[in-house]
């Protein structure tokens, strides 16, 4: 199976920056997804990293280091609507995607 580790909760102020770290151990690797999930709702896609490095997409950026089994999601200029759970999901060689328990981010005014 996969081992996915990310912090349970993070709190930040509106307008600030938050970095959500994810470490993983998988049998092979075919990329890593980040999804956002608001309470009681379905997850929505944020990013997919296959190669090492930083990918920026508006206020959200995602970083990957395959050799370290490490990724992070960077949320900039935080808004109240960013309060949600953020799910890290590496894709192993069997292509069965599983998700970490998620990091609940609370944005305070």
Rounded to a whole number of angstroms, the minimum distance from the CB of residue 93 to another protein is 11
Position among 62, 64, 90, 102 found at the interface with another protein (CB under 8 A):
102
* Residue found by looking up tokens 């930083």 in the block: 54
Residues 70-99 touching another protein, rule: CB under 8 A, are 87, 89, 91, 95-99
Shorter beta-carbon distance to another protein: residue 13 or 30: 30
The interface mask with another protein, positions 23-62, x = CB under 8 A, is -------xx-x-------xxxxx--x--------------
Rg (CA), the chain: 13
Question: Using the rule CB under 8 A, is 10 a contact of another protein?
Answer: no
**Cα–Cα distance, 103 to 108 (Å, whole number):** 16
Which of 65-68's residues contact partners 24+ apart within 8 Å by CB, and which partners? Answer: 66/29, 68/23
Q: Which of 73, 90, 78 is nearest to 7 (CA)?
A: 73
- Strand, coil or helix: what is 46? strand
Residues that bind another protein (CB under 8 A): 1, 4, 30-31, 33, 41-45, 48, 87, 89, 91, 95-102
């Amino acid at each position: 199976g996969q081992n996915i580790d990310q912090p349970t909760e993070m709190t930040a102020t509106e307008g600030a920056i938050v970095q959500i770290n994810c470490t993983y151990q998988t049998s092979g690797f075919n990329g890593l997804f980040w999804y956002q999930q608001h309470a009681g709702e379905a997850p929505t896609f944020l990013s997919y990293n296959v190669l090492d490095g930083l990918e920026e997409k508006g206020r959200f950026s995602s970083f990957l280091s395959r050799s370290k089994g490490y990724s992070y999601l960077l949320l900039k200029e935080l808004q109240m609507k960013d309060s949600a759970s953020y799910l890290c999901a590496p894709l192993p060689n069997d292509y069965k995607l599983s998700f970490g328990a998620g990091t609940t981010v609370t944005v305070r005014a």
